[in-house]
Structure 1
Amino acid sequence: MPSIRQLFLSHVAKTNEMPLMLEVDHAKGIFIYDTTGKKYYDMNSGISVSSLGHCHPAVVDAVTEQVQKHMHTMVYGEHIHSPQAKYAGLLTAQLADGLDWVYFVMTGTETVEVAMKMVRKYTGRTEIFSCAGAYHGSTYGAEALRSDIEFTMNFAPGVPGVRHIGFNNEADLEKITTKTAAVIVEPVQAESGVIPPVDDYLIKLKTRCEEVGALLVLDEIQTGFGRTGHLFAHQKYNVTPDILLVAKSMGGGMPIGALVSSEEIFSSMIKKPALGHITTFGGHPVSCAAAYATLSTILDEDLPSKVLGKEKLILEQLKHPIIREVRSSGMMMAVELTKRKYLKHVVAKCMELGLIVDWFLFNDRSFRVAPPLIITDEQIVEACSILRKAMDYAEEKYN
């Protein structure tokens, strides 16, 4: 009988030539355990998914209760499912007026696909802007929003009508005109290595969109649900989008995503043609039940208010000669090193020492620190001690 590792290597498709090969046995709280019993601090949260940690009791209980009632019954928008309706009510109660309708999908990249269709349908325009260095997903439409031609050329031609502006570049705002349907932007650029907005950039972007009748779509797939120290980053940076995209930590580990907008904008997808977008598993009742438990826990425990204190503690603990800079927005952090060659050795040594950090897609000098929001101060100190040991190793061996 082949082992699980052998089955993985022989039959599971890979996305790169060197997968991490961490054989997971179970996970609890901020820790992941492999099949040998070794414990790893999860300082990556599955790329900002496990904000409540792993197997949070409230989420597990909600999933267990719902699967005993029913799972899939009909594609999205035809049957009334209590978990969908309850969650939509709870989510929109936390948001500004105009963000009061929710369309459920399965993943973050699908929210982007729907948004690209919806802004063109609603405005009657075709031009869409995204920012250079942004990442909005890997499906065909979402991929077209990427600016790095060395990657996208391998899948060309892409979706027509997409253009790019520089994030935090006020001069580029003039490129947004009455031909523009929408600007799709991350409030904090994630895969470029955590680049927050400066000088009220998002407010100025929103103003420009209003001037020319374009929609502002904020991709809060990574920043949402407390990660930046506010429930949503757009609340932190004082701007309200026309369309909000959420996913990742939304489901507490279950797959789910959503678009939030107004009845007026969503209604453009109901007719001419009908069924402007349909998704078989969007709003799956088990995922919605998990999402309701996740958001309820975040609110009941007021986790966003505790993020900034934990961010400060991490910044105090992450002091080392090979650190050039730490960029952060709450517990969404990029640790930039003084030499590119240090990076792979720090990441690998962390794994050896029992701690998981991750790379960025578009920044080869920085590693990602994005622990579960439930991490304690004591765990932060312990995890940062391991990080410093990994950096000691890289400095001594490769200086």
Structure 2
Amino acid sequence: PVQGEAGVRYAPNSYWKALRERCNKTGALLIFDEIQTGFGRTGSLFAFETMDVIPDVLVMAKAMGGGMPIGAFVADSNIMKCFMSQPVLGHITTFGGHPVCCAAALASLQIIENNKLYHTVEKKSALFEYYLKGLDRIKEIRRKGLLIALEFNDRDFNFKVIHNCLQKGLIVDWFLFCDTAMRIAPPIIINEEEIQHACMLIKKSIKENEI
């Protein structure tokens, strides 16, 4: 429901409601990929929870394992049964369901839920915008929780700023299908002091490349 690699772009809830209705009418499955946005990244456990629709299939990974490799998809029993015979054993993988990775995923989910880590995500996201807004070289700030895009509208300048940030020890990146914008996606446990420091490094990197 949030286009990560396109540079943090998402549609209004009215779009998702219309899409849900269209899928219901045609018999198509509504599949949400929350590999980047799941487990608190956008300010709720999953981004679709704020969109007033429920997908038929939910895909998740990345933060699911708390650093361990694991991915999954969720669907109701009728959909899951299809993968048992169409094709036969279509629902299994060689290393699927590894007990250590599953234990890590469960522990990670318990920590996120027990501490409600996503409850402060929107506040932290707003802090990034507060500290970075008003800079001439940043043409737009797009954000959904702690998935943030700084749009420069300039590929070369973007790559130079990213390089400077990395040289200063700040881990940032670009987007596969939006190389004019810089990706900010810190751990959701980041605190205000760390946000201020990160924004200071970003501002410094931008200024150094304006010379």
TM-score between both structures, scaled by the size of structure 2:
0.96
Deviation at 1:315, TM superposition (A): 0.7
Pick one of 138, 141, 152 that aligns with 1:337. 152
- Report 1:55-70 matches (<5 A): none
Aligned sequence identity (%): 49
The answer for the alignment partner of 1:363 in structure 2 is: 178
Counterpart CA distance in 2 for 1:345 and 1:206 is 41
Q: In angstroms, what is the RMSD of aligned CA positions?
A: 1.2
Counterpart CA distance in 2 for 1:334 and 1:369 is 6
Counterpart CA distance in 2 for 1:264 and 1:335 is 42
Contact 1:246–1:257 at 8 Å: present in 2 too?
yes
Q: Does 1:303 align with 2:117?
A: yes
- Kindly provide the amino acid, as one letter, of the partner of residue 79 in structure 2: I
Instruction: Please give the per-residue CA displacement for 1:90-124, whole angstroms capped at 9, x wherever unaligned.
Output: xxxxxxxxxxxxxxxxxxxxxxxxxxxxxxxxxxx
The alignment partner of 1:359 has SS state of strand
The answer for the alignment partner of 1:232 in structure 2 is: 46
Deviation at 1:341, TM superposition (A): 2.4
Counterpart CA distance in 2 for 1:199 and 1:243 is 18
The answer for the alignment partner of 1:223 in structure 2 is: 37
The answer for the alignment partner of 2:193 in structure 1 is: 378
Unaligned stretches of 5+ residues in structure 1: 1-186
The answer for the alignment partner of 1:351 in structure 2 is: 166
Counterpart CA distance in 1 for 2:69 and 2:15 is 32
- Kindly provide the amino acid, as one letter, of the partner of residue 208 in structure 2: Y
Contact 2:57–2:74 at 8 Å: present in 1 too?
yes
Deviation at 1:278, TM superposition (A): 2.2
Contact 2:13–2:51 at 8 Å: present in 1 too?
no
- Report 1:195-206 matches (<5 A): 195-198=9-12, 200-206=14-20
- Pair 1:271–1:304, CA change in 2 (3 A): same
Counterpart CA distance in 2 for 1:246 and 1:209 is 21
Contact 2:13–2:52 at 8 Å: present in 1 too?
no
The answer for the alignment partner of 1:394 in structure 2 is: 209
Contact 1:196–1:328 at 8 Å: present in 2 too?
no
The answer to which structure has the higher helix fraction is 2
Counterpart CA distance in 2 for 1:387 and 1:301 is 30
- Report 1:194-343 matches (<5 A): 194-198=8-12, 200-271=14-85, 273-319=87-133, 320-343=135-158
Contact 2:153–2:181 at 8 Å: present in 1 too?
no
Counterpart CA distance in 1 for 2:106 and 2:189 is 17
Deviation at 1:277, TM superposition (A): 3.3
- Pair 1:226–1:388, CA change in 2 (3 A): same
Deviation at 1:268, TM superposition (A): 1.5
How many equivalent pairs are there? 210
The alignment partner of 1:201 has SS state of helix
- Report 1:34-45 matches (<5 A): none
The alignment partner of 2:149 has SS state of strand
- Kindly provide the amino acid, as one letter, of the partner of residue 226 in structure 1: G
- Report 1:19-58 matches (<5 A): none
Counterpart CA distance in 1 for 2:68 and 2:86 is 33
The alignment partner of 2:2 has SS state of coil
Deviation at 1:273, TM superposition (A): 4.9
Deviation at 1:335, TM superposition (A): 0.4
- Kindly provide the amino acid, as one letter, of the partner of residue 368 in structure 1: R
